[in-house]
Structure 1
Amino acid sequence: MTHEDFQGVRPIQSALLSDTAGAAIEHGFFTRKGGVSEGLYSGLNVGLGSKDAPAAIQENRSRVAAWFGRDVGDLATLYQIHSADVVTVDAANKSERPQADGQVTSTPGIVLGVLTADCGPVLFADREARVIGAAHAGWKGALDGVLEATIEAMIALGARRERIAASLGPSISQASYEVGPEFVARFVAVDPEWSRFFEPSEKTGHSMFDLPALTVERLRAAGVQAENIDRCTYADEENFFSYRRATHRKEDDYGRQISAIMIREH
C-alpha cells in the first residue's frame, strides 16, 4: 500500500510486525504529528474523552483511517477502562466503542485502534491466520491480564500462539515513572520476583517502575514473540502526549495518540 502524506501523519513501524506480518497486515504507532488540534492537544489528538474540539478530534481520526486507506467508520476504538476485558470486532459492531481494553478481529479492512498517553499500546498479529489484536496495557491492565486475554481471544479466532507477534509501542519509560511503596507492594504480592521491575528513586521510599519490561516479559511468558519500540512518551514531548507530564505541569487535560493495525483485503 502506498500511503498518502496527510500533513505529516507518519506512524512508527515495528520491525517485528513488519517482518512477521508482512504484506498481509498494516500497522502503525502514530505520534502526535500531522493533526489539526491546537493548544494542549496540538497535533493528532484522537481522544474522544478529551476536552479538545470535537471537530478536530474527528478530523484527526479521519486522517488515521485514511492512512490505512479506509474511511473513519472503519476505525474501531474502545471506551478504555483499565480492565482485562477484550472484545471481538466485526463489520456489525465496529462502531460500537464498547467498554474494554483489548480487541481482536479476523475481518479485513477494520482498523483496530487503542489510545494511550503513557500506558502501553500493544499490537498483535498472526499473518498466516490473518488475525490481529490491539491492547491498551497500563499498569492495571498489564497486572490484571489484558495481554493474555487478547492472545486468547486471537486464538479463539484461529491464531496460533507460537505465530503471534506482539509489539509494545511508545509508552512511559522507567526513568520517568516514579511510584510509591503501596504501588510496589501490589505487584510484589502477585509475584515477589517482580521486584526486579523497580529501582529506588531519589525520593525516599519511592521507586522507578519499568512498565515496558514487565509488559514484554508477560508477552513472552504467554508464548508469543514480543518487542519494545522503546520510545518514552513522557520524555519526548515533540512526538507524544503524556498524562503524567500534563499532571506534573498541572494542566487540566491532555491529548491521546493512537496505535492501530488492520488486515489488508486481498
Structure 2
Amino acid sequence: MNVPHVLTAESLRLPGVGHGFFTRIGGVSRGVHASLNGGVGSRDSHEAVAENRSLAAVALGVAPERLAVPYQIHSADAVAISEPWTPSGRPRCDGLATATAGLALGVTGADCGMILFAERRARVVGAAHAGWKGALTGVVEATVAAMERLGARRGDVVAALGPCIGRASYEVGPEFVAAFAAAGEDTARYFTPSRNAGHSMFDLNAYIAERAARAGIGGFEDLALDTYADERRFFSYRRTTHRQEPDYGRLMSAIVLN
C-alpha cells in the first residue's frame, strides 16, 4: 500500500484546516519520477501521476476530483475559485484562493517555492507557486489579494513556505542579479558572491519571506528544507539538470478547509 509522506507547518495546524507539503515518498511512479510525482507536465505516465494525485487528495481527506491544481506559468496571477475544474479547464495562473470547504488547493514544484496560506477567522485558504520570477513579479501579494476578495483580512493571514531550493544550492549568473536590480530590489540582501567569479548565491527563501512581509500578512513560517540537497525526500529541477537526467518529478503541496 502506498502512503504519501507529508510534512506540515506548525503555523497551519489550525482547527478546520488541513494541509500538507508532500515529499517524493509514497507514490507509484518509477525511475527518475519515483515515487510521488504530481507533475502532469513531466514525462511520467499520466496514469501514475493521476494515481499519485489521488493518493495526495485522500491523505487530505478529499475526493481526487476535489484537488484543484492550476496550469502553472511562473506568473503573478492568482484567482479565487469555488469549485473544481475539468482537466482541460485549468486556469493558467500560479495562485489560488477559496472559501469553499472540501475544495483542496494544490501547487507543484521542484525547487520553486510552494506557499500555503490560511485565514482562520474568515475561513479562507490559498496556495501559491513562487519561483524567482513569480516572487519578483508579485504572486505572493496577488494570492493574498485573491483571499481578500473572499473576505479574508490580510493581517490575519498566516503562510508557510514548504521545501524549495536553498541559498547554498542556488547559484545564478549576473543577468539574474541584474533582473532584481532593475526591479529596484536590494540585491545585497538576497545575493552573496559564489566561488565562481561573476556568479552569486540567491536566497529564494529570504526573498519570499520579504514579499510576504510586504503583503502585510500576520505570520510567515519557512520550513527551511532544501530540495536540491535532500534527494531522498525531494525532487529538484536543478539537481536533475546538473546530472543531465532525462526528466524530473514534481512535489505537491495542498491546503483545504474541512
TM-score by shorter chain over 0.5: yes
Matched, 1:13 2:5: no
In 2, Cα distance between the equivalents of 1:92 and 1:249? 37
CA RMSD of aligned residues (A): 1.2
**Cα deviations across residues 134-164 of structure 1 (Å, max 9, x unaligned)?**
0000000000000000000100100001100
Task: Check the 8 A contact 1:184/1:195 in 2, yes or no.
Answer: no
Partner residue of 1:3?
none
In 1, Cα distance between the equivalents of 2:116 and 2:203? 19
Amino acid at match of 2:111: D
Task: Check the 8 A contact 1:47/1:57 in 2, yes or no.
Answer: yes
**Corresponding residue to 2:22 among 8, 13, 30:** 30
Q: TM-score, normalised by structure 2?
A: 0.96
**Corresponding residue to 2:138 among 125, 142, 145:** 145
**Structure 1 vs Structure 2: percent identity of aligned residues?**
53
In 2, Cα distance between the equivalents of 1:219 and 1:188? 19
* Gap runs ≥5 in structure 2: none
| Corresponding residue SS for 2:96 | strand
Task: Check the 8 A contact 1:75/1:94 in 2, yes or no.
Answer: no
Q: What is the 5 A alignment of 1:110-129? A: 110-129=103-122
Matched, 1:236 2:227: no
Partner residue of 1:191?
184
Return the offset for 1:23.
Answer: 1.6
Change (3 A) 1:215 1:23: same
Q: What is the 5 A alignment of 1:174-189? A: 174-189=167-182
**Cα deviations across residues 165-184 of structure 1 (Å, max 9, x unaligned)?**
01010000000000001100
Partner residue of 1:172?
165
Q: In terms of mean alpha carbon deviation, does 148-157 or 65-74 score higher?
A: 65-74
Return the offset for 1:92.
Answer: 5.7
Amino acid at match of 1:129: A
Task: Check the 8 A contact 1:76/1:94 in 2, yes or no.
Answer: no
Q: TM-score, normalised by structure 1?
A: 0.94
In 1, Cα distance between the equivalents of 2:83 and 2:67? 11
Matched, 1:220 2:205: no
Matched, 1:255 2:249: yes
Return the offset for 1:91.
Answer: 1.9
